[in-house]
Amino acid sequence: MPVKEPVQKINGKICFTTTAMCEALNVSRETLSVWESKGCPKTARGWWPLWDILRWRGLIPLAGNQEGQAEEPLAVKRLRYDASLKEAKVEEITFKNEATQKMYVSKEEATAEIRRFYPVLKKSVLTFCRRIVAEVEPYVDRAVVKRVEKIITELTLDALGQISVPGVFTAPKRKQKKGGN
């Protein structure tokens, strides 16, 4: 069996055998296999393009991108992304600390705000229903107008009832008139 040359030119690229590439980069075969699974360029089975691998590892800069600027080496990109990851983690920790130190809106404040807002929303939505009925009224019979108003009002009240989660909002009970109904 003839001995394989450790270096060949394949598709215009200088390629090393797996053994020669491992020796040149001082890595193991397993490392090359892991690199390949992560996207490291490989010309053919057992052949690795030297310059493409050096560019892929970020050891030499790329010739340039579409804008004509040299692209960052992978090591620099990694540092930049690591820094942004650490910043995000700091923000998360800061948020957790603020939450434990009660630097957030309390449940009571939120509930009070919702209780204040809900009646205004209800009145506005029901007014909107009446406005729709007023627009439809000239074109249909009075009985149809009443039926449309009833349907829209029921649907609106159902939707508003679904918004008011039990325990968060309880609608104030209407006062009954003295002297009967």
Average pLDDT over residues 62-80: 65
Distance CA 91, CA 134 (A): 52
pLDDT at 130 over 70: yes
Give pTM, 2 decimals: 0.35
The whole-angstrom distance between residue 38's C-alpha and the CA centroid of its chain comes to 24
Chain centre distance of CA 13: 41
pLDDT of residue 30: 92
pLDDT (tens digit per residue) in 140-151: 898 998 998 899
What's the pLDDT score for residue 88? Answer: 92
Residue 53 near residue 15 (C-beta atoms within 8 A): no
**For residue 96, what are the CA distances in angstroms to 49, 84, 101?**
48, 18, 9
pLDDT of residue 66: 47
Two tokens at 73? 């080496």
pLDDT tens for residues 73-86?
A: 677 788 888 888 99
Q: Does residue 178 have a pLDDT over 80?
A: no
Please give the pLDDT value at position 80. 83
Cβ proximity of 21 and 50 under 8 Å:
yes
Q: Which residues of 39-70 are buried (b: 16+ CB within 10 A; e: fewer)?
A: ebebbeeebbbbebbebbebeeeeeeeeeeee
Q: What pLDDT does residue 68 have? A: 47
